[in-house]
Amino acid sequence: MAQFNDTSAEIPGTPCLICEHGGLAFCGPGPGDADEPSRLSAMLGQVNLIAHDSVFREGDPATHLYSISQGAVKLYKLLSDGRRQVTAFLFAGDFFGLALDGGYAYTAETMTPALLCRFPRRKLEALFAEVPRLERRLLGLAIDDLAAAHEQMLLLGRKTAREKVASFLVMLDRRAARRGHHGPAVALPMSRSDIADYLGLTIETVSRTLTQFRRDGLIGLPDLGHAVLREADRLRQIADGG
Amino acid sequence: MAQFNDTSAEIPGTPCLICEHGGLAFCGPGPGDADEPSRLSAMLGQVNLIAHDSVFREGDPATHLYSISQGAVKLYKLLSDGRRQVTAFLFAGDFFGLALDGGYAYTAETMTPALLCRFPRRKLEALFAEVPRLERRLLGLAIDDLAAAHEQMLLLGRKTAREKVASFLVMLDRRAARRGHHGPAVALPMSRSDIADYLGLTIETVSRTLTQFRRDGLIGLPDLGHAVLREADRLRQIADGG
DNA sequence: GGAGCCCGATGGCCCAGTTCAACGACACTT
DNA sequence: AAGTGTCGTTGAACTGGGCCATCGGGCTCC
C-alpha cells in the first residue's frame, strides 16, 4: 500500500522534478510569474512508490492532487465481479487525482517504481485565490483530459481490435515524443493484461494482434517491454479506421 | 445549420432560463454573489434551434460555451468511414462546448427543438479575473464530466449489451429525477440509432434488449419516446454487473 | 388515399473476438 | 538444478453481438 512507501513526511518541500520537464505539468513555472513555483514547492510533498503500488483507490476521499515526476501510473475502475477498465496510462509530467468531494472516481496504481509530487487539495484551492493562473492551467488540463476521454470512448465503442491496438501504439509513441523520448523503441511499462483492460479486449486478442503487426512488418518487438513502430504512418492510418 | 436559426442577434441580454433550474448550471446564481448572474446575463446570447440541428462541429474554433435552457442535445465523434460514437446526451441545465484553442473535440447536435444560452469564450475568460467563483464552478463541472466519461469508458469497454442498456435507462432516470422529472416515464428523445452509438452497439441489439426487458417485466414501453422503469432496483443491479 | 419513406422490430446467419486449454520463457526459491 | 509461479503466446472451439433481410406502422407529400 501507498502508506508503506510514503516518504512525503521525510522530505517536505523538496522541489518537484517535473518542473524541469518542459512545462508540461501544472506546476511548471509560468512566463512572468516567477513567484508561483516556489509557492507550489512550499506545499508539495513527494511520494516514492515501488512498482504495482496503489496511490489511492476509487471512492477514497480526494485529499491530494498528484503529478508524476518519474515512473508510470495507470488509472482504472472495477465492476463488482472484477472486470476492469483501465482509463488512462500516465507518465512523467502527467497529473491525476482531480476530484470533488465525492472522492476519487478511479483507482491509481504505479506500473513502475515512481516518484510523485503531491499537493494537498485544500491548500491548492486556497492558493487559487492568490494565483488565478494556477486554476486556469488546471482547467486547461482538465479540458485536455476530457478530450482524451472522448477519444477513448470512440476507440472503445467503435474501433476494431486491430484499430484499437494500432491507436494504442501510436498514442504511446506520440506521448513519448512529447516527453522528449525520440528513440526507436516505445516503452511498454504495462502488462498485456493492462493493455487489454485499456482497450476493452482480452490479453489473447492483444497478443495475437501485436504478433500480426510484427509478422506484417509494421512493428518490432525487441522484448516484452518495448515496441518499435517500423511503419508509423501505416499504423496511424489503421488507427483512424483506414 | 445553426446559423439559420440563430436568434442571438435579435435578443441579446435576454435572461438565461436555466438560471431558474435549481442552480444546476454554471450560470446559476451563487449564494451571496448577487452581482454575478447579471454580469453573465449581460454577455449571454440565446440560440433557438430546431430538432436535429448542429450547434457546432468537431474541430470548429471554440468560440462559445453553451448551456441548455430547453431541449436535448447529443455530442458525438466520427471516424472517417462514418462510424460514430455518441459521447453524451445532455438536457436542460447541462452545459457543453468546453474547449481550448484546438477547437471543439466533438460535434454537438440538437435532438429536439432547443433553446441554448451561449457565452463568448473570450468574454467569459475575461470575467474569470473579476469573478473567480465562476472559474471554480466551471472546473467543478469539468471534473464531473470527467467522472462521467470514466464511467462511460467502463461501460463501453467491459459491460455486456444487457448491462449497457440497463445502465443507460438507469442513468436517464437518475438525471431526469435530478431535473425534477419524477413521473413514471423516462423521456427518450434520442433515436435507437443514437442509443446504439452511445452504447457501442447496433440498433438491432438495442431494440432486442429493450424488447427482452419489456417481456421480463422490467420496463414498459408506452411509445417510442418513453420508457417506464418498472423494476428500477433490478435494472440498477443488472447495470452494475449483477 | 395511396405511394413512398423513415424508423423500429424481428428472424436467421455469420464472424470477430472470447473462452478454454496447452505450452514456452523467464524469474525466483529451495 | 530442479521446482514453482507468473506472464505472454498460440491453437481450437464457441458465442455474443453484428450483419443482412424482411416486415409493419406512422409520417409526409402528392
- Of A23-37, A95-109, B5-19, B79-93, the least confident: B5-19
Q: CB of residue A225 closer than 7 A to nucleic acid strand C? A: no
- Tell me which nucleotides of strand C come within 7 A of a protein CB: 7-12, 16-21
Mean pLDDT of chain B: 87
Q: Do domains A2-154 and A159-239 have the same CATH topology?
A: no
pLDDT band at B6 (very low <50, low <70, confident <90, very high): very low
Q: What is the pLDDT of residue B38?
A: 56
Q: Which of B89, B112, B72 is nearest to B194 (CA)?
A: B89
Angstrom CA distances, B22 to A88, B42, B47, B137, stand at 34, 20, 21, 15
Distance CA(B168)–CA(B219), nearest Å, equals: 13
Which helix or strand (DSSP H or E) is residue A150 part of? Answer: helix A132-158
Q: What is the pLDDT of residue A8?
A: 38
Distance CA(B58)–CA(B64), nearest Å, equals: 13
Distance CA(A191)–CA(A224), nearest Å, equals: 9
Residue B177 has pLDDT above 90, yes or no: yes
The CA R_g of chain A, rounded to the nearest whole Å, is: 19
Q: What is the pLDDT of residue B171?
A: 98
Which member of B80, B136, B156 has the closest CB to residue A157?
Answer: B156
Which member of A81, A128, A149 has the closest CB to residue B150?
Answer: A149
CA of B190 vs C1' of D14, distance in Å? 35
- Tell me which nucleotides of strand D come within 7 A of a protein CB: 7-12, 16-21
**Pairing between β-strand A84-90 and β-strand A73-78 as defined by DSSP bridges:** antiparallel
| Mean pLDDT across B35-51 | 74
Residue A22 has pLDDT above 60, yes or no: no
**Cβ partners under 8 Å of residue B201, min gap 6:** B161, B164, B165, B195
Which member of A84, A85, A139 has the closest CB to residue B139?
Answer: A139
Q: What is the pLDDT of residue A130?
A: 83
Which member of B87, B147, B242 has the closest CB to residue A153?
Answer: B87
Q: Which of A194, A135, A65 is nearest to B136 (CA)?
A: A135
Q: Is domain A2-154 classified as CATH 3.30.530.20?
A: no
CA of B159 vs C1' of D5, distance in Å? 31
Q: CB of residue B221 closer than 7 A to nucleic acid strand C? A: yes
Looking at the complex, report in whole angstroms how far the Cα of residue B238 sits from the nearest Cα belonging to chain A.
11
- Both ends of chain B: CA-CA distance in Å? 44
**Burial class of residue A128, CB neighbours in 10 A (0-12, 13-18, 19+):** middle
Cell digits of residue A103: 472522492
Looking at the complex, report in whole angstroms how far the Cα of residue B24 sits from the nearest Cα belonging to chain A.
15
A20 phi and psi angles, rounded to 5 deg: -100, 5
Contact list, B144 vs chain A (CB under 8 Å): 100
Distance CA(B166)–CA(B184), nearest Å, equals: 16
Q: CB of residue A211 closer than 7 A to nucleic acid strand D? A: yes
Cell digits of residue A153: 470512448
Looking at the complex, report in whole angstroms how far the Cα of residue B241 sits from the nearest Cα belonging to chain A.
7
Residue B2 has pLDDT above 60, yes or no: no
Considering only CA atoms, which residue is closest to the C1' of nucleotide D20? B204
List the beta bridge partners of residue B84.
B78
Q: For residue range A61-76, what is the model confidence (pLDDT) as tens digits?
A: 999 999 999 999 999 9
What residue segments make up the domains of chain A, in order of their start? 2-154, 159-239
List the beta bridge partners of residue A229.
A219
Q: Residue B83 and residue A241: Cβ atoms within 8 Å?
A: yes
| Mean pLDDT across B118-128 | 90
| Mean pLDDT across B24-34 | 45
**CA-based torsion, A129, A130, A132, A133: positive or negative:** negative
Q: What is the pLDDT of residue A131?
A: 84
Comparing A214 with A133, the larger pLDDT belongs to A214
Contact list, A138 vs chain B (CB under 8 Å): 139
Q: What is the pLDDT of residue A11?
A: 36
Residue for grid cell 472559474: B135
Q: For residue range A173-220, what is the model confidence (pLDDT) as tens digits?
A: 999 999 999 999 999 999 999 999 999 999 999 999 999 999 999 999
B215: the nucleotide nearest its CA (via C1') is C9
The CA R_g of chain B, rounded to the nearest whole Å, is: 19
**Cβ partners under 8 Å of residue B62, min gap 6:** B56, B97, B99, B100, B101, B102, B103, B104, B121
Contact list, B85 vs chain A (CB under 8 Å): 153-154, 157-158
- Domain B159-239, what fold? Arc Repressor Mutant, subunit A (1.10.10)
HEC string for chain B: CHHHHCCCCCCCCCCCHHHHCCCCCCCCCCCCCCHHHHHHHHHCEEEEECCCCEEECCCCCCCEEEEEEECCEEEEEECCCCCEEEEEEECCCCEECCCCCCCCCCEEEECCCEEEEEEEHHHHHHHHHHCHHHHHHHHHHHHHHHHHHHHHHHHHHHCCHHHHHHHHHHHHHHHHHHCCCCCCEEECCCCHHHHHHHHCCCHHHHHHHHHHHHHCCCEEEEECCEEEECCHHHHHHHHCCC
Looking at the complex, report in whole angstroms how far the Cα of residue A129 sits from the nearest Cα belonging to chain B.
7
Q: CB of residue A208 closer than 7 A to nucleic acid strand D? A: yes
Q: For residue range A80-126, what is the model confidence (pLDDT) as tens digits?
A: 999 999 999 999 999 999 999 999 999 999 999 999 999 999 998 88
**A47 and A18 Cβ atoms separated by less than 8 Å:** no
Q: For residue range B209-220, what is the model confidence (pLDDT) as tens digits?
A: 999 999 999 999
Chain A residue nearest residue B104, CA to CA:
A147
Residue for grid cell 501510473: A73
Q: Residue A136 and residue B128: Cβ atoms within 8 Å?
A: yes
Spell out which residues of B between 113 and 172 contact strand D, using CB within 7 Å: 160-162
- Both ends of chain A: CA-CA distance in Å? 44
Comparing A2 with B143, the larger pLDDT belongs to B143
